Chain A
Amino acid sequence: MIDNFSALDLHISIASEKLFTLGGISVTNAMVTGVLGLVLTLGVLIYVAIMLRTKRYNRFVGLVQWVFEGLLKSVNDIIPDQVLARKIAPLSITIFFFVLFNYWLSVIPGLDSITYHGVPVIRSLTADLNFTLAIALITMVTAQIYAIKYLTALGNASRYFRNPIKDPIGSFEGILELVGEVSRGSALALRLFGNAFAGEVLLIVIALLSSYLASVVLPFFMAFELFIGFIQAYVFFALSLIFTSLAVTPHEDSNPDHSPTAKHIRSVAK
């Protein structure tokens, strides 16, 4: 068994691999697949928009419209301010569709077998930390921009920096909040990367282990990956909204006597 494993030529790389260089920029396999994902995302959404514009409907248009409507409803449910909800919707919905299509590209056949100079050509963009970090950064920066817009720069800064002499607990909370912002962003990036990367590794390992039975066994794992892709896209979408919602919500006074719970208890006691 162990000899069999050792005989398998597993090609696993955490980082996406360079295929060629274009204008001083290394073009990786994830970027190539990402371009495919970009074309797919744009193609699907533009096709649906054109069909809706010309009032021509079919099942596929209905499905995408239904998903879009559900996402828009989620945006409206999570973000209390309707104006902000409509502003943030394009970013979060694009995250959902782009992540979904790119994640699903990891199940296309030839994941590890199609190579260029020994480097696999197909690698999902979501399994590239550059991409997941990029959209996590965009999400966190967008949340901060809206927080400054809604709470003012000073109001937003007061969430993290408070006078330790006047409010020692609050100042500690502020530091925790600051650490929380960093950890939220990195968790957002690493969660998606981890799932996508693990999914790809799983498919490669299953394909190698099942050998001639791969065509029978793999579809089950591919279907599972499609499901996980949907879940991950929705999780990223929802978390980006929740972080924005949290960022624009004014912080509560750290004094326990002034907290809403304390106020509620006092009102009930009266």
Chain B
Amino acid sequence: MTAIFTSFASSAPSQTNLFDALGIDWKTLILQIIAFLILVWLLGKYVYPWLVKSVDDRQANIEAVNKAAQEARASALQTEAQVEKLLAKARIEASDIMATAKLESESVINNAEEKAKKRSDQIVADAQIEIQKEVVAAKTALHNETVELVAMATEKIIGSKMSPKLDESIIKETLEKVK
């Protein structure tokens, strides 16, 4: 046990002065102060500016990116609003167009219907006139044919050719009887 203390005691400085005991040497102290100040000056002058510049550049880049992101976000919001506005406008326009088209189509349909009705009426009227004409023609033809048949029948019955005057009187008389 005593050996430990002896060992420690032997390593303890023999100087009585506190500074000497702690190993403080003024020459060394001043030398180290000067050396350290030179180191600080050297680094501050030639090394740190590059490191500070890199940090500042990085910071500036980050800020620029943030600013760009914010601007992009604002722009996106603005575009979104514009798109919404355009969509709303388009919807209104589409609904107007639809309404107009509906009205126009109704009008076209009505016109077409009216036209078709007129045309069909015209066709019916024309057909009726034509039928009337054909009926009259058929009646006339029938009348003439009937007269001829009667004349022929009468000739056969009488056995002689009749004069036109006689024919006519006989035919009239016959016809009146037939009626």
Contacts and interface: CB of A to CB of B under 8 A. Distances in A.
A binds B: yes
A93 B29 CA distance: 21
Interface in B54-97: 54-55, 58
Interface of B: 1-4, 7-8, 11-13, 20-25, 27-29, 31-33, 35-37, 39-40, 42-44, 46-48, 50-55, 58
B1 A130 contact: no
B44 A14 contact: no
A77 B53 CA distance: 19
A41 interface: yes
Contact of A15 (B23, B29, B36, B46): B23
A130 B25 contact: yes
Interface in A1-59: 2-3, 5-16, 24-26, 28, 31, 34, 38, 41-42, 45-46, 48-49, 52-53
Interface of A: 2-3, 5-16, 24-26, 28, 31, 34, 38, 41-42, 45-46, 48-49, 52-53, 65, 68-69, 72, 86, 89-91, 93-94, 98, 128-131, 133-135, 137-138
Contact of B4 (A6, A28, A52, A138): A6
Contact of B23 (A2, A14, A25, A137): A14
Q: Is the interface of A mostly helix, strand, loop or mixed?
A: helix
Contacts of B55: 65, 68-69, 72
Contact of A25 (B1, B27, B39): B27
20 contacts: A2-B3, A3-B3, A6-B4, A10-B8, A13-B11, A25-B27, A38-B39, A45-B43, A45-B51, A49-B51, A52-B53, A89-B48, A90-B43, A98-B39, A130-B23, A130-B28, A130-B29, A134-B36, A137-B33, A138-B33
B33 A42 contact: no
A133 B33 CA distance: 9
Nearest to B12: A14
Given A25-B28, A26-B27, A138-B36, 18 more contacts: A2-B3, A2-B4, A5-B4, A9-B7, A10-B7, A38-B39, A41-B39, A42-B42, A42-B43, A45-B43, A68-B51, A90-B44, A91-B40, A98-B36, A130-B32, A133-B24, A137-B29, A137-B33
B91 to A, nearest CB: 53
Contacts of A137: 29, 33
A89 B42 CA distance: 14
Given A41-B39, A138-B36, A69 B58 contact: yes
A15 B1 contact: no
B22 A94 contact: no
